[in-house]
């Protein structure tokens, strides 16, 4: 298959799944194995297209990110307080990720481990959606430091490829009293620092694998991922006003079963 077509497919998969509770990493691992696009070079390509998805969220929520640099009157999630909340959310997974990064890369990046994570995450979604909850935080400005740290602890579950960073942070927020839509929006915003740090670290270690001839493929994947993520985020927020997370859990179970059929 032509490199540019692989770039388009992988870019679409990354953009559509990065911020949904279905695991973009899991989808990229499965897709990469199906396309025969695996190995260190493929992993570095995935890092680049993740940056495209990150940029989409930064532009979609640019007033929020600008408010982190310039204090906003009447906005609690801004300036130093907003940065502090994001730091608390990013801290647990960042520290744990540094400790277990090598183990995860070596043992958990396979279709079968992804299928297990997809299924486990689906069960967690059903449990969280079935639990009675008090939603006392309905905007980012109502989030507390304790909530931000709690979401960060839940985010550690996303270190298991296939579980989903989005799913873990949204469920964590919901369990801690954040309404579903606000939990999703905070998941998007909180994704930027930890994803930027993780992708930057991996890219720094692996950038030498690419040469000038690969720039076209990288650019295609980046652009496709950016626009796919833009569409996915807008659509997801719209759907959360009408649906629960249960349809995504059903999808995860179906995908896990399909992966087992193909790869076992």
Residues 6+ apart with CB under 8 A from 134: 177
User: Could you report the per-residue pLDDT of 26-67, keeping only the tens digit for each?
Assistant: 999 999 999 999 887 787 788 889 889 999 999 999 988 988
Q: What is the pLDDT of residue 69?
A: 85
- H helix runs in 214-264, sequence order: 215-240, 246-263
Q: What is the pLDDT of residue 118?
A: 97
pTM score of the predicted model: 0.90
Q: What is the pLDDT of residue 209?
A: 67
User: Could you report the per-residue pLDDT of 216-253, keeping only the tens digit for each?
Assistant: 888 899 999 999 999 999 999 888 888 899 999 999 99
Q: What DSSP designation does 74 have? A: T
**Radius of gyration in angstroms for the set of CA atoms belonging to the chain, rounded to a whole number:** 18
User: Could you report the per-residue pLDDT of 142-189, keeping only the tens digit for each?
Assistant: 999 999 999 999 999 999 999 999 999 999 999 999 999 999 999 999
Instruction: Share the mean pLDDT of the chain.
Output: 90
Q: Could you tell me the residue ranges of all domains in the chain?
A: 3-263
The answer on pLDDT for 206 being more than 80 is no
- H helix runs in 108-214, sequence order: 111-130, 145-155, 165-175, 180-206
* Count of alpha carbons within 13 angstroms of residue 212, beta-carbon side: 0
Q: What is the pLDDT of residue 240?
A: 86
Distance CA 130, CA 21 (A): 17
Higher pLDDT among residues 156 and 215, named by residue: 156
Q: What is the pLDDT of residue 241?
A: 80
Q: What is the pLDDT of residue 205?
A: 67
Higher pLDDT among residues 217 and 22, named by residue: 22
Contact 51/187 with Cβ under 8 angstroms? no
Q: What is the pLDDT of residue 1?
A: 76
User: Could you report the per-residue pLDDT of 101-123, keeping only the tens digit for each?
Assistant: 888 888 888 999 999 999 999 99
Distance CA 206, CA 217 (A): 16
The residues that bridge with 178 in the sheet, in sequence order, are 137
Contact 169/183 with Cβ under 8 angstroms? yes
Residues 6+ apart with CB under 8 A from 127: none
- H helix runs in 18-139, sequence order: 24-35, 40-60, 62-69, 79-107, 111-130
Question: In angstroms, how far is CA 48 from the centroid of its own chain?
Answer: 14
Q: What is the pLDDT of residue 172?
A: 96
Higher pLDDT among residues 196 and 158, named by residue: 158
Higher pLDDT among residues 79 and 215, named by residue: 79
Neighbours of 146 (CB within 10 A): 10
Confidence of residue 210 (pLDDT cuts 50, 70, 90): low
């Amino acid at each position: 298959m032509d490199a540019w077509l692989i770039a388009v497919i992988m870019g679409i998969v990354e953009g559509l799944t990065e911020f949904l509770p279905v695991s973009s990493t899991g989808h990229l691992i499965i897709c990469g194995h199906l396309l025969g696009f695996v190995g260190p070079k493929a992993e570095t390509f995935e890092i680049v297209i993740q940056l495209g998805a990150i940029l989409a969220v930064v532009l979609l929520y640019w007033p929020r990110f600008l408010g982190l640099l310039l204090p906003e009157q009447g906005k609690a999630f801004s300036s130093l307080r907003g940065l502090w909340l994001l730091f608390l959310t990013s801290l647990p997974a960042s520290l744990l990720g540094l400790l277990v990064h090598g183990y995860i890369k070596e043992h958990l990046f396979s279709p079968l481990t992804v299928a297990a994570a997809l299924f486990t995450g689906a069960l967690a979604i059903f449990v969280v959606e079935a639990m009675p909850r008090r939603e006392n935080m309905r905007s980012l400005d109502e989030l507390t430091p304790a909530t931000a740290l709690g979401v960060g602890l839940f985010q550690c579950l996303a270190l298991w490829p296939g579980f989903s960073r989005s799913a873990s942070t949204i469920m964590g927020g919901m369990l801690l009293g954040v309404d579903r839509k606000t939990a999703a929006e905070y998941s998007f915003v909180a994704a930027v620092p930890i994803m930027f740090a993780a992708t930057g670290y991996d890219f720094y270690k692996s950038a030498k694998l690419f040469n000038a001839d690969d720039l076209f493929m990288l650019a295609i994947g980046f652009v496709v991922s950016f626009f796919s993520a833009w569409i996915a985020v807008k659509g997801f927020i719209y759907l959360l006003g009408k649906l629960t997370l249960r349809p995504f859990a059903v999808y995860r179970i179906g995908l896990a079963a399909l992966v087992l059929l193909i790869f076992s």
